[in-house]
Amino acid sequence: MPLWPPRFSPLGAAAEREEVASADEQIAKAIEEDIIFGRLPPGAPLREEKLEERFGHSRHVVRAALTRLERIGIVTKERNRGAAVRTFSPQDVSEIHEVRELLQRQAALRIHLPVAAADVARIEGIEEEYERQLAVGDLRGIHDANDRFHDAVFALCGNRHLQTLIKSLLDLTYAVRTRSLADAEDRTKARSEHHMIIGFLKGTDNWALAEVCIEHIRSRRDTYLEYLATQKKPRRSRRTND
């Protein structure tokens, strides 16, 4: 059976393209989850031949999946070295979070308080889903609900471009946030901060809202910086007795 449909069957060719697109999306999502949940640490190589074996797809499908991940900034490709999970330097982490803080503060200050009851109810619904995922320990569900919560909050700023910039930096910091996602204590703290954010949305203090939004992301930054510090510690040399 031929791998590609005959040239005279444009419908078959279209179906094949859809199948390929679906396959690279699925592979990209699987690798993304490995990165989010810490199964692939920063700097881990993504060998195309290994991914071919794992997913049972051709090299060009695997490459398309890696290109997707490179586009959102969580995978890097270097000539003669191939693809790898993106590693952020301490300076990268500090600078990215500095920009995140600036954008999120401005977004929080732009939100007209108190927020309409319908908008608060919608965000509370997302938070309830987040807490359901916490209860069952579904890391993918926790991650997705958390991102939807923050996107919904910053959508209230009324500036779609500002909201998009905040979301793009949230996506870029997948690997940074990974270190906290698997930590039960940090997840409990995040839930408490979500409740504080919702409480401030019902009030009139934009400055307090901005402060809790900023504090919410600082612990993830600090956790990742601590992780980088442990990775760079020199190994102790073994001493032998003469």
Phi, psi of 85 (to 5 degrees): -65, 135
In angstroms, rounded to a whole number, what is the distance separating the alpha carbons of residues 12 and 34? Answer: 33
Q: According to the CATH classification, is domain 10-85 in 3.30.390.30? A: no
In angstroms, rounded to a whole number, what is the distance separating the alpha carbons of residues 81 and 95? Answer: 26
Nearest residue to 31 (alpha-carbon basis) of 7, 52, 2: 52
pLDDT band for 7, please (50, 70, 90 cuts).
very low
In this predicted model, what pLDDT tens digit does every residue of 154-209 receive, in sequence order?
A: 999 999 999 999 998 887 777 677 656 666 677 788 899 999 999 999 999 999 99
In this predicted model, what pLDDT tens digit does every residue of 128-160 receive, in sequence order?
A: 999 999 899 888 888 889 999 999 999 999 999
DSSP 238: P
Residue 71 has pLDDT above 80, yes or no: yes
- Tell me the average pLDDT across 205-222: 91
Residues 67 and 58 sit within 8 Å (Cβ to Cβ): no
The token pair at 124 is 């509370």
Nearest residue to 44 (alpha-carbon basis) of 73, 6, 7, 86: 86
Nearest residue to 200 (alpha-carbon basis) of 191, 188, 210, 214: 210
More confident residue, 193 or 235: 193
| Tokens 């993504």 found at | 46
Query: Mean pLDDT in the chain?
Result: 83
Burial of 62: CB neighbours in 10 Å, binned 0-12, 13-18, 19+: buried
pLDDT band for 80, please (50, 70, 90 cuts).
confident
Selecting from 1.20.120.530, 3.40.250.10, 1.20.120.1770, 3.40.228.10, what CATH number does the domain 90-231 have?
1.20.120.530
Residue 122 has pLDDT above 50, yes or no: yes
Q: What is the pLDDT of residue 166?
A: 94
Residue 177 CA, distance from chain mean position: 7
Residues 83 and 45 sit within 8 Å (Cβ to Cβ): yes
Share of the chain above pLDDT 90, in %: 49
Nearest residue to 133 (alpha-carbon basis) of 176, 194, 175: 194
Share of the chain above pLDDT 70, in %: 83
Phi, psi of 124 (to 5 degrees): -65, -35
Provide the residue ranges of all domains of the chain, joining segments of one domain with +. 10-85, 90-231
Count the Cβ atoms, other than its own, within 10 Å of residue 226. Answer: 11
Claim: this prediction has a pTM higher than 0.85: no
Residue 17 has pLDDT above 80, yes or no: no
What SS3 state is found at 86?
coil
DSSP 116: P
In angstroms, rounded to a whole number, what is the distance separating the alpha carbons of residues 51 and 58? Answer: 9
For 23-113, list the strands marked E by DSSP: 45-46, 75-78, 82-85
Residue 69 has pLDDT above 70, yes or no: yes
The token pair at 121 is 């109810």
Phi, psi of 75 (to 5 degrees): -130, 145
